[in-house]
Amino acid sequence: MENNSPKVEPGKIPFWRDVRVLRVLFQGIFLLGVILLLAILYRNMLEGLRGLGLTLNLNFFQDEAGFGISEGITYDPSDTYLKAFWVGVLNTLKVSIIGIVCATFIGLFFGIARLSSNWLIRTIAAAYVECFRNVPLLLQIVFWYTAVVAQLPNVRESLSLFGGAFINNRGVYLPSPEPTSSLKIWLWFLGAGLLLAVFLYVLRWRQLQRLDRPGFRAKWALPAFLIVALCGWFLTPGRPFTLDLPALQGFNYQGGMSFSPEFSALLVGLSIYTSAFIAEVVRSGIQSVVKGQREAARSVGLKEGQTLRLVVLPQAVPIIVPPLTSQYLNLAKNSSLAVAIGFPDLLGIGRTMMLQTGQSIPVFAIIMVSYLVMSLTTSAAMNWYNRRITRIGR
């Protein structure tokens, strides 16, 4: 590199005009300011805590919690605070993951419906999106909880769906599959089916490569696997699973899966609210693929399905993924609104801990760390996925 600017010897610049010195100086002053601010806050905190008669101390995490938690993994009030907090973390994860799955499906449905050629379907989908994304989530959750779930009939007059699922004001009761002893035999069938599927997949892949034509790689593998699995299901002596139906015993339904009213209201609220945003993400992602791409694909002879799979989606997905990730993260963070209806998520349990022990600062710290870990891992995973598909796409 040729440098035309006159050479300046470092020694000749006075230090107050030397960029290198200034950089260090400026950053030093800035850091000093930040540290000073933190120090003042820390001093204030100690003073404030003294005023409240509290001392900072982390030992309480090992103490007996002594409060009950209405749902989650096995837990006893005699367990430690740490265990109680862990129950909350798992409850948050449970509602977030199920919520994300539901919201994605509902959102996809309405996002695609907004692009329908049918005016009525398009308009209904638009109305759905506008209605649910323009009303605060908290209001929706409280509405579902107090105006819908709490108004359901009582246990004796439960609404019954197909005789197996029951809904009442104490919760939602669904049949759950229970594995039996013949599950092992069926698993062998599944394994064999999987092997066959892999073999057929590779075979088909090779064939497509040889023909140099686009096509569906799992065209043979998928049906083969399904057929084997289905045959296995009927050939196994007995059934691999039995349905555990909820049944009225005493004052409530026993057996099967059950969701508490709090969980149900929170899940419905989160899923519907987020699905409205996901629908918009999907719609704008698909619309961002220019019309010419579609027309070009049709004119070189691709079928409608191939156009979607080979031309539109590969271009739409990289556009959809980043905003979709932030919607997922929003849903996970919004699950903290559970405190409004008393679902024991990590924030709710954290609050109980704070009220019982008075150690608000360490509890807030652990709550924030939990949320940050969730957010950062999700966004790291999504960034990795995003990098991968953008590399393939371009």
Partner 1 sequence: MEEQELTQEIKPPANTKGAARWLKDNLFNTWYNTLLTCLALVLLFFAFKGFLTWAFTEAEWDVIPANFRLFMVGSYPQEQIWRVWNAIYILSVLMGLSAGLWGGLVRRFAVVLSGVWSISALLPVELSTRGWCLGANAMIAVSFFLGRGRTGLRPWILGGWILSFPVIMVVLRGFGENGVLTSNWGGLLLTLILAVIGIVVSFPLGVFLALCRQSNLPAIRWVSTTYIETVRGVPLITILFMGNTLIPIFMPGFDINQVLRMMIGITFFSGAYMAENVRGGLQGIPRGQHEAAQAVGLNYVQTTLFIVLPQALRSVIPAIVGQFIALFKDTSLVSIIGLIDLLGVAKSVIANPDWLGLQAEVYLFAAAIYFAFCYAMSYASQDIETDLGVGKH
- Point out which residues bind partner 1 (CB under 8 A): 23, 26-28, 30-31, 34, 41, 44-45, 47-49, 51-52, 116-121, 124, 130-131, 133-140, 142-143, 146-147, 150-151, 333-334, 336-337, 339-340, 347, 351, 354, 360-361, 364, 367-368, 371-372, 375-376
Q: Provide, rounded to whole angstroms, the least separation between the CB of residue 64 and partner 1.
A: 23
Q: Provide, rounded to whole angstroms, the least separation between the CB of residue 320 and partner 1.
A: 18
Q: Provide, rounded to whole angstroms, the least separation between the CB of residue 388 and partner 1.
A: 23
Q: Provide, rounded to whole angstroms, the least separation between the CB of residue 22 and partner 1.
A: 10
Q: Provide, rounded to whole angstroms, the least separation between the CB of residue 371 and partner 1.
A: 4
Q: Which of 129, 221 has the CB closer to partner 1?
A: 129
The token duo for 177 is 């599959």
Q: Which of 80, 336 has the CB closer to partner 1?
A: 336
Q: Which of 121, 222 has the CB closer to partner 1?
A: 121
Q: Which of 2, 47 has the CB closer to partner 1?
A: 47
The token duo for 190 is 């599944």
Q: Which of 49, 194 has the CB closer to partner 1?
A: 49
Q: Which of 124, 310 has the CB closer to partner 1?
A: 124
- Return the residue matching tokens 């013949």: 182
Q: Which of 20, 206 has the CB closer to partner 1?
A: 20
Q: Provide, rounded to whole angstroms, the least separation between the CB of residue 27 and partner 1.
A: 4
The dihedral through the CA atoms of 210, 212, 217, 221 has a sign that is negative
Q: Which of 117, 154 has the CB closer to partner 1?
A: 117
Q: Provide, rounded to whole angstroms, the least separation between the CB of residue 88 and partner 1.
A: 13
Q: Provide, rounded to whole angstroms, the least separation between the CB of residue 73 and partner 1.
A: 23
